[in-house]
Chains A and B, each alone.
Chain A
Amino acid sequence: MRRFCALISRTKRSSDEINFLRKSVALGSASSAQTTSSETTKASFSTTNTPAVDENLVPVFVDGREVHVQKGVTVLQACEHAGVHVPRFCYHPRLSIAGNCRMCLVEVEKSPKPVASCAMPVMPNMNIKTTTDLVKKAREGVMEFLLINHPLDCPICDQGGECELQDQSMIFGSDRSRFTEGKRAVEDKELGPLVKTVMTRCIHCTRCVRFATEVAGVQELGVTGRGGQAEIGTYVSKLLSSELSGNVIDLCPVGALTSKPFAFTARSWELKPTETIDVLDGLGSSIRVDSKGTEVMRITPRLHEGVNEEWISDKARFSYDGLKRQRLDAPYAKNPKTNKLEKVTWETALEIVGEQLSKADPRNLRAVAGKLADCESIVALKDVMTSLGCVNFEVEGVNADAVNVDSRSNYIMNSNIVGVEDADVVLMVGADVRLEAPVLNARLRRANVAGGVKMATLGHHGDLTYPVENLGTEASIINDLLSGKHAFSETLKNAKNPCVIVGSAVLNRPDCAQLLKSLHQLSDQFGVVTNDWNGFNVLQASGGTTGALDLGFVSSKNKHISENDGLKVVYNLGSETISSYDSEPGKKFVIYQGHHGDVGAAGADVVLPGAAYTEKDATYVNTEGRAQRALACVAPPGLARADWKILRAVSEFAMVPLKYNTIEQCRERLAEVSPTFNAIDEVEPSLWLNGASYAHLAGGTPNVAAKGGAGKKTSGATVFASEPLTTNVENFYMTDAITRASATMARCSKAKATGSAF
């Protein structure tokens, strides 16, 4: 319901503002109670000429224009609804109301003083004026006081050009100062490798403090001192420990908090913005990539209510320097004499690849899709390999034998990302959501703190920033839950909308099939899936996995051969984890196509340089099954090319030319394979097969790989591997080839490990 209500406004953003407010009003503050009572009395007088409208709406007048707004919204929101912009510094729709900057002063009829519009709820028939002399004078006064202690260093400030204080002082600021005392100076704080501070510039709006406390859930920032001595900081010197810390840079209306890696590298007006998406975690957050020439200069979030609201993780924001390092900018092939990779021309490389592919026995072929692969290249690779007769496909990080891809509901977030807030009990299995998808974790935190959603986990994890009940780490606990032996079964049973979040680590366990079967069973038993609710959620680890599964990039059942008998040629599309596919001279031939010189390229015989997610027009599917388009922001380095084009060329050399020549045709092919790609940026609910997906697995059969070893067998219950459930993200800052190549991410990892920025 939250998703669909457009209460007073047409834009996504303000409807959310209203909702936020509604929530805070519902918490029952004294002032809102007053509003309601005085409203009822006045409403009886004002029914004459108002048309029959929703009774939750009240009429107010903004600069003489009548608008109807939701009860309990603030004066500022009412103005916004009327299309009148009110200047502000401290107010932010996603944070609690502080009302401490006073920039939003407006005049309200019958009120003796100007009122801070962000903190004042509307009353029926309120007459709000924003253009009077009084308002102008009040705002000018506030601006003058704000500038008293603000340094005049715009020319050397990174916020210059996109600074709210700069912009608003153009309207309300004076052209000269009446302040002749000494300006105060504040010591800069060390907040870590990402956030640079120039605290003298701070205007004490406390947005950063509220963000850290309310959204990120790390109570580290605060206001120390008072009045002229007030400072923002941590008091005891401490690095910000949040995975979302970069967002305070966007929130800070002035240049007090700026990006450390971006410092002094470009002015904001020199940058070329491209609106695209992030692929470094499963959410596919909306981002804006700012580039200058051929370089990505910085990455900032874009608003997407369904996915990331307006936050992104530090990894998405700061790992862009990894796009400039360790890049494959030319094709390489192994020199048979030296057994070393050497630069070759595209023709040579493609000839070798074509020959290897076309001469190999198709049963000895295998294709692997890496976790950052885009859908166009995956479908092209699949088509090339299928035309060659290959039946062995694999998605990085997914135990392909176990995950049933016939139904999408088996591997996506069925409740959608926003849907997790509709749950009343959330059970996270083998996941550390804070590390795997920090933005989703902020959502879960909000659900817990504001909505009282009960959180429980199964498996190892760190501090999730909200209270959770850990049920243990053994997979066998699921059996207890199923049999009702575990106390938590009761909670699940009583829940109206229970939700299960399955971490991507589960998909890669040897006992993945057993686990998924039991979790499906659990879902059916406890109403995780009902007619109008599907709370079975798989949290994929990165941008490429869901797309690959959607495109059916898995081996046809029972036909594939294991790598030991006769696997000859492997086509590795950007996978970095599968070292068992390292080439062995004379035995195995590995073709690596990707953008970074990481594990994958090191173990290859031929390297084809591809493009990273910021360098190609491509489609990715996020963990909730939302197909999204990424746009090319900069050109790929050197001789590197967009990946699907490389595969198009490979198909020619392998004598199985693809039928599509343009990206449009390629996308038509995508849509043919899966309807997901017909509707960009939409999520379709998928069919739940009531456990049928895993029905073929017998209950007690321990089909556990030797590695895991069989756990204790309880009568009739499923037997799981004995390794404890845990996340597969050990270090949030380094999860793939791009982030591993990033110096900033390396600094972050070090800071996290040592607790010091140096």
Chain B
Amino acid sequence: MTSSDLFFTTTTTTTSKKNNGMNNNNNNNKRNTNSNTNTKNIFKQQTSKTNNNQTFSHVINERLYSVGLMVHRDSAENNSSLKWEFSKENETKVQTILKRYPPNYKRSAMIPLLDVAQQQNAGYLTVPVMNHIAELLEVAPIRVYEVATFYSMFNRSKVGSYHVMVCGTTPCMLRGSRDIEKALSEHLGVKKFETTRDGKFTLGEMECMGCCVNAPMIAVADYTGGVEKYTYNYYEDLTPESAVSIVQTLAQGKMPEKVGSQIRNKAEPITGTTTLNTEPTGPNCRDLAKLKKELEAAAAEAAKAAAAEAAAGAKK
């Protein structure tokens, strides 16, 4: 197959993929697909596996909403004319954070401060919040906006009191994160990136949170009690049922029994630990206490000898 063949194959297959999704299969594309499927089976497979309900624009939107818009739209409750400040209690926290950095590198405190601010402000950063931090750090506001938009853990629009984030990266996905998402979505009655009517839960998505061994997992940020009560907990080794029950427990205002893995104690194979199960047999490390004693004895001996020699010298 020549490279141009490959080129055309790829294009037409993908085009038809798109068109399938949009229920807009025109004949021309179909013919092309048919004539090419023989040459490259993999594309046929791909085509058949494509989720036909998802239109192309949907994919793009989904991607965008995971972090929100990258520009700000003024609204009555979020615009530059408003003022915001850290609460009294948090002010001391802010000062401790600021003290960690030399005065000329104040801006290093930006991320920790944004974090405290987000906790105080019910889980999201508004323009007045970011402006206040810019003022504290003596930087232009845009420098704070840049940081806040860069990190997906900073929310810039309102979230529920519990921000439930389903891990969407490959290991979790292979272990069933899509089902968990579906179960949560059905249970809460919201789609991804939406908040429940009562404002309690936002269903979100995050990329790999480093718990792949215990995949699939979700993280829940708890904004119910401001900075004091704030938690950011991982719930791992989930099934759709256990994920739903975690959310149910939270909805009752209680903490789930177990944080972290729901079925294991640590990151161990699903069949239990297989190595290092017995007491270590040695050789052991050096006995430091004994070694110390020996060294001290030797030192005392040497001191004695030196004293004796000095005494002899004095006699002479």
Contact = CB atoms under 8 A, between A and B. Distances in A.
Contacts of B127: 236
A245 B299 CA distance: 77
Interface of A: 176, 178, 180-182, 184, 187, 189, 219-226, 228-231, 233-237
Contact of A220 (B15, B59, B142): B142
A223 B145 CA distance: 9
Contact of B71 (A180, A226, A237): A237
B141 interface: yes
B72 A235 contact: yes
Interface string B119-144: 00000000100000000000111110
B80 interface: yes
Contacts of A220: 140, 142
24 contacts: A178-B7, A180-B11, A180-B14, A184-B60, A219-B143, A220-B140, A220-B142, A224-B150, A225-B67, A225-B150, A226-B149, A226-B150, A229-B64, A229-B70, A230-B70, A235-B70, A235-B71, A235-B72, A235-B142, A235-B145, A236-B72, A236-B74, A236-B141, A237-B74
B15 A180 contact: yes
Given A224-B149, A229-B64, A236 B80 contact: yes
A412 B10 CA distance: 69
B293 interface: no
Nearest to B140: A219
B7 A176 contact: yes
Interface in B43-85: 56-57, 59-60, 63-64, 67, 70-72, 74, 80
A237 B56 contact: no
B146 interface: yes
A233 B10 contact: no
Given A222-B142, A225-B150, A228-B63, 6 more contacts: A178-B10, A180-B11, A181-B14, A220-B140, A222-B145, A231-B71
B142 A180 contact: no
A230 B140 CA distance: 19
Question: What are the nearest 3 A-B pairs in CB distance?
Answer: A219-B140, A225-B70, A235-B145
A653 B80 CA distance: 66
A55 to B, nearest CB: 34
Q: How large, as a class, is the contact surface on chain B? A: 20 to 34
A235 B11 CA distance: 37
Contacts of A182: 56-57, 59-60
Nearest to A235: B145
Given A220-B140, A235-B72, A225 B15 contact: no
State the main secondary structure of chain A at its contact with B.
loop
A234 B142 contact: yes
B56 A224 contact: no
B7 A225 contact: no
B187 to A, nearest CB: 29
B149 A235 contact: yes
A180 B10 contact: yes
Contacts of A223: 146
A176 B8 CA distance: 11
Contacts of B72: 235-237
Contacts of A228: 63
A27 B15 CA distance: 53
Contacts of B14: 180-181
A181 B67 CA distance: 21
Nearest to A219: B140
Contacts of A224: 70-71, 145-146, 149-150
Interface string B146-170: 1001100000000000000000000
A340 B80 CA distance: 53
Contacts of A180: 10-11, 14-15
A748 B149 CA distance: 30
A187 B60 CA distance: 15
Most buried by A among B72, B139, B142, B145: B142
A226 to B, nearest CB: 5
Contact of A187 (B7, B71, B74, B80): B71
Most buried by A among B14, B59, B146: B146
Contacts of A189: 71
Contacts of B142: 219-222, 234-235
B142 to A, nearest CB: 4
Contacts of A219: 139-140, 142-143
A34 to B, nearest CB: 23
Interface string B17-43: 000000000000000000000000000
A189 B80 CA distance: 18
Most buried by A among B56, B71, B80: B71
A149 to B, nearest CB: 12
Given A231-B71, A235-B72, A236-B141, A222 B7 contact: no
B10 A236 contact: no
Contacts of B70: 224-225, 229-231, 233, 235
A476 to B, nearest CB: 34
A9 B67 CA distance: 48
A225 B127 CA distance: 15
A225 B145 CA distance: 9
Nearest to A225: B70
Nearest to A236: B72
A220 B127 CA distance: 14
A508 to B, nearest CB: 36
A176 B142 CA distance: 38
Nearest to B67: A229
A225 B67 CA distance: 8
A209 B143 CA distance: 11
A225 B140 contact: no
A572 B140 CA distance: 48
A236 B71 CA distance: 7
B72 to A, nearest CB: 5
Contacts of A226: 149-150
B1 to A, nearest CB: 15
B144 to A, nearest CB: 9
B143 A222 contact: yes
A413 to B, nearest CB: 31
Most buried by B among A219, A222, A235: A235
Contacts of B141: 235-236
Interface string B258-269: 000000000000
Contacts of A235: 70-72, 141-142, 145-146, 149
Most buried by B among A184, A187, A226, A228: A226
Contacts of B80: 236
A228 B62 CA distance: 13
A236 B11 contact: no
Contacts of B150: 224-226
A183 B57 CA distance: 11
A219 B142 CA distance: 7
A15 B129 CA distance: 45
A235 B74 CA distance: 11
Interface string B187-216: 000000000000000000000000000000
A186 to B, nearest CB: 8
Nearest to B60: A182
A180 B57 CA distance: 14
A28 B290 CA distance: 51
Contacts of B140: 219-220
A176 B4 CA distance: 10
B18 to A, nearest CB: 8
A219 B140 CA distance: 6
Contacts of A187: 71
A234 B150 CA distance: 14
A225 B149 contact: yes
A137 B10 CA distance: 22
Contacts of A231: 70-71
A224 B146 CA distance: 5
B280 to A, nearest CB: 42
Contacts of B7: 176, 178
A176 B70 CA distance: 31
Contacts of B10: 178, 180
A235 B125 CA distance: 13
